Structure 1
Amino acid sequence: MPEENDAGVIRLLDDETVNTIAAGEVIERPASVVKELLENAVDAGADMIKVDISTGTQHISSIQVTDTGCGMHPSDAQMSFVRHATSKIRGPDDLSRIHTMGFRGEALASIAAVSRVTLITRTQERDAGTEIVIEGGEILSVSEVSSPQGTTVRVDNIFFNTPARRKFLKSRQTELLHIYRAVEGEAFAHPESAFRLRVNGKEKLRTQKTTAITQTIAQVYGADVAREVIPLSAGTPVMRVDGGIVRPEACRPNAGEIHLCVNGRPVTSPQIVRGIRAGYGTLIPKGRYPAAYLNIRIDTSLVDVNVHPAKREIRLSREKDIIGGITGAIRDTLQTTDLIHNDTSAHPVTSPSSVYQHIPENSPVVSEAASVFVDTSSENTHPQERLHIKYATTDKQLRLTGNLDEDTGVNLLPSMRIIGQVADGYILAAPGDNDELLIIDQHAAHERILYDQLCARKDASIRRQELLVPLVVELNSAEKLALSANIDILLDMGFIVDEFGSDAFAVRAVPMVLGKRLGIEMIRDIVSDLVIESRKTADERSDRITATIACRGAIKAGTPLTQEQMERLVIQLSHTSEPYTCPHGRPVILSYSQKELDRMFHRT
């Protein structure tokens, strides 16, 4: 044992260090500041909440949140910056029945520990307001000022004393994207309040107080989204869910458009996401997710929000009953909805101008009415004629990818004999030099071909086709920012996309490989990828978009092929870089040796 006069190595940290460490848990990025201040404004009973963001060339320079709430007395205003000082709970028993957004008393103290904060607040009873200026956790001044009822918090020089945190912030566009998502989430969770978001003086989001959930969805996420929404309202003894879900055909490649609010708190919950997807059952394919906008009310004693300092995650008691109730509500809603006819679907909007703002010089553009589709399923069309139309469409797809590296002599597959097609989705083949059976997924094969072709042409001019009728898609604030920030990537991919008013974009040209298979769903898939992949590099985002284009442009499963078409497809596949896997990593070819076939037929 150490002697009594030995110096100890364990020390009690000073308050400044403790506050800075704690602030790092609560305030991860500028969007965390916005979220915490919005929650305080909601708890103050504000019916109008304004968010003003100022940015420099690289970073968020200031954040200001103004509310019309109850305000604070001078003594409470000073006390609000003391860590773990709160008006919202009194003891541990209150943690099991939290009805407010905040409760730990950490937000303002954490923000003030890593920035310069100016707070101005006034209650209805007082004639003058109180202004407090605090920097790095130290109060610089307290004074009386003239102010309206409510509270304004201005945050400047974020992370000035934690350069490591500031260094690892993402680009200005990425940080703004997170702020947009935070404001959208709070606006959806609290339709009883009006929200306004401005960036450098320009309005990006405005909502009014509403009582109908569909009106809230339209204001926050856009009219196009609202037109796709199927209203949902149901309850069980332990929960109630209101909101909207989209039709199965409008599903997304990821869960980024599942917006959840539990007891007025925007949250993430993998369990609830799985329950939502289970409600769709086999109506959506594997690997796809619905868009959903759900406001869920659960007995507070069954919800633990004290899981993470940022309060993003929740834990549920009686989880099976709650998730089952959500799944059942979605299943029942879909079963009682006509999913065939959709009279509220958005129609393409023609543009009054064909001036392309982003089209490069000497770019090969082919004019084609790509928004016009051939109906091959009409009852008036003879079956043989429909089959001929399908063969012709497939011929065109294969011509678009017909010369991929075939002159290089590189061939990564053995020569093989095409046996036939199974289920209009799989090609059966046999190599010429051994006893094997090969099964080739025709969609995955063509997807790999298209992907390699697009990658090979990124440095050259990708052929694009002009749409006679531009495809107009309405986006919410976060989606608009993500699309604007990646216009150059889309241009390299063969798209020409321009702003179309304040809330929409017009797609005026698309990669030639897409043929006539373009729709709003594909654009939404790409935008959804851009939002989710905002933290990735430009090359990673470009690769994700390339894979999406290849998947959409490829020959689909269920497409009949002629013998010649199957042979051409296999030849093209043999000249790709990775003929055995698609861009998403799924297998393209499965091989069965004679020995394996004998074993399956019990011949060994």
Structure 2
Amino acid sequence: MPQIRRLPETLVNRIAAGEVVERPASALKELVENAIDSGATRIAVSLGEGGLSRIEVTDDGCGMTADEMALALERHATSKLPDDAIEKVATLGFRGEALPSIASVARLTLESRVRGSEQGWRRVTDHSAVTDEGPAALPPGTRVRVEQLFARVPARRKFLRTERSEYAACLDIVRRLAMARPDVSIRLEHNGRTIFDLQGGEGLAPRVAMIVARELADNSVAIDLERGEMRLTGIAGLPTYNRGVADHQYLFVNGRPVKDRLLVGAVRGAYADMLARDRHAVLALFLDLPSEEVDVNVHPAKTEVRFRDAAAVRGFIVSGLRQALSTGDRRSAQAPDAGAMGRWQVEPAIAPALGSIFRGRDWTAPSSNVRATSEAFRGFEAQVMDAPLGRAEQAEPDPEQAAEYPLGVARGQIANTYIVAEAADGLVIVDQHAAHERLVLERLRAAGAGDKVAASQALLIPEVVELDEPACDRLEDQAERFARFGLVMERFGPGAMLVRAMPGALKGGDPERLLSDLADDIAQHGKGLLLEEKIEHVLATMACHGSVRAGRTLNVAEMNALLREMERTPRSGQCNHGRPTWVKLSMGDVEKLFGRH
């Protein structure tokens, strides 16, 4: 039998580094977090080849003395835990593993100067071995340079990705930390090129919009809610402003960037009836709660957290997001499609035909040519359009409060599908079917139709569904909640559930497949959303079939009634599938189309 032995310190550090430093972005995250924890107001990040050849982080924080620098390179040495109360940690870092882990798999140059000191100190380690140290000239603060990452660990080096992929991961890390601290100025350079230079003190919303997308500022709602000791702030994109991947969802807990399944599931639940399943919201959410209510010591990378009362946190986020969106999302995505607008600038294809109509016209003697021109135009009209698709009615006097209507006053209908309205600040085009579909859905909810749709349909013979024990445990924990949606089940032994009733909306459904999907959904998102989505889908289908169809002729009174109800109804800015129900073209844009600018 092999003898038990103590592993050498260098190997211990490399093993620890495997958990903390997976790639250049992992090392960069630890270094920038250290800079933030030092009280820095300015942080400069410089990368070479996506961090593969060089990572350098410079800050103007509190700095370290020579003795503190030596101690900082020892494992589990930190200044961020003044006592043993790890459950009350208030800094981004606290484990004391980052610097020694990085130093064990790279060449690390650490330079620092305490404010008020005449000179700084430099300490160089090459894969844990100290190779040089001495005085250094630098401003107050700290500069850390990491080179030759994994140079002596070829097994790890070969698993790194391309320069472009590693740079993308580093960029994401800096972006998230820059959002977490809008009061700190952060500059990022890559291969000598400045990527961004963000100034501190600009505010949360402007910084998030600057990092994610500038148009987010005009297509989002601000969030600032409190419940007990919990507070939720940030900005959430309108459902019509969405992406095909979830990479633009930035979540923070007590200022710490996290990637947490419970929070992702809560966001998905909040947008459940406003987005198609393959689309994802764009947002930045900041959740603050007492430090003892959340465990950040789950993984060395510190990107996962565990909540003491997960259900309360999830409910707060879902209700908070829905409340914010219901007050602000009567707006649609603000900018019309750029491609569609660009086509307005092109000379119409019918221009030659129009030219042929007026060519040879004697403008000094209109009476002799009116009939010929009229006949020519009728021939052209027959050529380019079989039947008129737009119509207008005799205008009625506008109401006195017309200028106060956000969606304006109806002026006509195009293709029996789109309502054209004039608002005080522009031209509004409304998709009548998409808009009415949302209105009908909100009416159904207000009337309690969801409860009726979810009413239980008792099974003639209860069905036993066999699943693995963990899946049964997850379903049993949520059984009471599912019962409110019409799914009545109970535990039937270690590896089975007994289904007594199904939601009326899912009559004829397969209980085994439903429970399997629900168990997987809970495992992935922390709390099952699938059943709610199925119920919502039935409501949405009812709303779709009960709404005004495209192609139906509406009179002006009906159009205006639809516009006024849209202005009163939450979430009327998008249909049940996340598409915009209306777009607005400002008067300035209209004038540009005609060169009046």
Normalized against structure 1, the TM-score is what?
Answer: 0.56
Whether the 8 Å CA contact 2:390–2:413 is kept in 1: the answer is no
Q: Note the residue ranges of structure 1 that are not aligned, 5 or more in a row.
A: 1-6, 355-373, 388-555, 562-604
**2:67 pairs with 75, 81, 85, which one?**
75
Q: Deviations over 1:394-449 (max 9, x none)?
A: xxxxxxxxxxxxxxxxxxxxxxxxxxxxxxxxxxxxxxxxxxxxxxxxxxxxxxxx
Q: Deviations over 1:70-105 (max 9, x none)?
A: 10011001110001011111454x211010011010
Whether the 8 Å CA contact 2:113–2:141 is kept in 1: the answer is yes
The structure whose Rg is larger is 2
Number of matched pairs: 364
Alpha-carbon distance between aligned partners in 2 of 1:16 and 1:336, rounded to the nearest angstrom: 58
Q: CA deviation at 1:344?
A: 6.8
Whether the 8 Å CA contact 2:417–2:550 is kept in 1: the answer is no
Q: Residue 80 of structure 2 aligns with which residue? A: 88
Q: Residue 274 of structure 1 aligns with which residue? A: 265
Alpha-carbon distance between aligned partners in 1 of 2:391 and 2:279, rounded to the nearest angstrom: 26
Q: Kindly tell me: are residues 322 and 386 of structure 1, through their superposed partners in 2, closer, same or farther at Cα, counting changes over 3 Å? A: closer
Amino acid of the residue matched to residue 118 of structure 1?
Answer: T
**1:27 pairs with 21, 26, 37, which one?**
21
SS at match of 1:248: coil
Alpha-carbon distance between aligned partners in 2 of 1:113 and 1:39, rounded to the nearest angstrom: 19
1:213 aligns with 2:204: yes
Whether the 8 Å CA contact 2:120–2:138 is kept in 1: the answer is yes
Q: Residue 519 of structure 1 aligns with which residue? A: none
SS at match of 1:231: strand
1:42 aligns with 2:33: no
Q: Residue 446 of structure 1 aligns with which residue? A: none
Q: Kindly tell me: are residues 345 and 145 of structure 1, through their superposed partners in 2, closer, same or farther at Cα, counting changes over 3 Å? A: farther
**Structure 1 segment 485-496 matched on structure 2, within 5 A:** none
Q: Residue 54 of structure 2 aligns with which residue? A: 62
Q: Deviations over 1:196-253 (max 9, x none)?
A: 0000110112211125221121232231222222111111113111110011112223
**2:412 pairs with 365, 368, 380, which one?**
380
Q: CA deviation at 1:386?
A: 5.6
1:339 aligns with 2:339: no
**1:144 pairs with 128, 135, 139, which one?**
135
Amino acid of the residue matched to residue 80 of structure 2?
Answer: K
Whether the 8 Å CA contact 2:252–2:286 is kept in 1: the answer is yes
Q: Note the residue ranges of structure 2 that are not aligned, 5 or more in a row.
A: 347-388, 393-409, 419-543, 552-597
Q: Kindly tell me: are residues 229 and 560 of structure 1, through their superposed partners in 2, closer, same or farther at Cα, counting changes over 3 Å? A: closer
Alpha-carbon distance between aligned partners in 1 of 2:550 and 2:317, rounded to the nearest angstrom: 40
SS at match of 1:294: strand
Q: Kindly tell me: are residues 381 and 48 of structure 1, through their superposed partners in 2, closer, same or farther at Cα, counting changes over 3 Å? A: same
Alpha-carbon distance between aligned partners in 2 of 1:386 and 1:134, rounded to the nearest angstrom: 70
Q: Residue 305 of structure 1 aligns with which residue? A: 296
Q: CA deviation at 1:345?
A: 7.1
Amino acid of the residue matched to residue 325 of structure 1?
Answer: F
Alpha-carbon distance between aligned partners in 2 of 1:203 and 1:382, rounded to the nearest angstrom: 49
Q: Residue 502 of structure 1 aligns with which residue? A: none
Q: CA deviation at 1:376?
A: 12
Normalized against structure 2, the TM-score is what?
Answer: 0.57
Amino acid of the residue matched to residue 105 of structure 1?
Answer: G
Q: Residue 215 of structure 2 aligns with which residue? A: 224
Amino acid of the residue matched to residue 169 of structure 1?
Answer: L
Q: CA deviation at 1:191?
A: 1.0
1:191 aligns with 2:182: yes
Alpha-carbon distance between aligned partners in 1 of 2:390 and 2:99, rounded to the nearest angstrom: 60
- Aligned-residue Cα RMSD (Å) equals 3.1
Alpha-carbon distance between aligned partners in 1 of 2:254 and 2:110, rounded to the nearest angstrom: 28
Alpha-carbon distance between aligned partners in 1 of 2:214 and 2:243, rounded to the nearest angstrom: 18
Whether the 8 Å CA contact 1:303–1:317 is kept in 2: the answer is yes
Whether the 8 Å CA contact 2:212–2:248 is kept in 1: the answer is no
Amino acid of the residue matched to residue 178 of structure 1?
Answer: A
**Structure 1 segment 460-471 matched on structure 2, within 5 A:** none
Q: CA deviation at 1:150?
A: 0.2
**2:242 pairs with 229, 234, 251, which one?**
251
SS at match of 1:327: helix
SS at match of 1:126: coil
Q: Kindly tell me: are residues 48 and 380 of structure 1, through their superposed partners in 2, closer, same or farther at Cα, counting changes over 3 Å? A: same
1:314 aligns with 2:314: no
Whether the 8 Å CA contact 1:239–1:296 is kept in 2: the answer is yes
SS at match of 1:336: helix
Alpha-carbon distance between aligned partners in 2 of 1:340 and 1:50, rounded to the nearest angstrom: 38
Q: Deviations over 1:485-535 (max 9, x none)?
A: xxxxxxxxxxxxxxxxxxxxxxxxxxxxxxxxxxxxxxxxxxxxxxxxxxx
Whether the 8 Å CA contact 2:103–2:128 is kept in 1: the answer is yes
Q: Residue 153 of structure 1 aligns with which residue? A: 144
Among the aligned pairs, what percent are the same residue?
A: 34
SS at match of 1:50: strand
Alpha-carbon distance between aligned partners in 1 of 2:151 and 2:272, rounded to the nearest angstrom: 50
